[in-house]
Amino acid sequence: MKQFFTEARARLRSAVPPFFRKVQALGASIATLGCALQALSLPPKLLSIAGYIAVAGGVMVAVAQFAEKNAILEKTPGVAESHP
């Protein structure tokens, strides 16, 4: 369990690949949209949908943050040799 938290801390602090930076920006925009829709006086059904939109954006940001720049190349056999 200690190894899990150590690796999670290292992934949070590591560099994020360019694609996942774009995913983070998109997720933040979606989360902001969901929160803005919740601030409006909408029917209850639309407010619950806005909540789901906000959660989905937050999950996108969190998942993209854990992506490591070199993790795919290091763990895929045969790929690390072709990419210096």
- Averaged pLDDT, 64-72: 75
Taking only the tens place, the pLDDT of each residue in 15-53 is 888 899 999 999 999 999 999 999 998 999 999 999 999
Q: What percent of the chain has pLDDT over 90?
A: 51
Phi and psi, residue 17, nearest 5°: -60, 155
Q: Taking Cα atoms as reference points, which of 53, 54, 68, 55 lies closest to residue 21?
A: 68
pLDDT of 73 reads 55
- Averaged pLDDT, 7-13: 80
Average pLDDT taken over every residue of the chain? 84
| Cα dihedral: 36, 42, 48, 52 (round 10) | -30
d(CA 1, CA 5): 7
Q: Pull the structure tokens for residue 21.
A: 């930076």
pLDDT of 59 reads 96
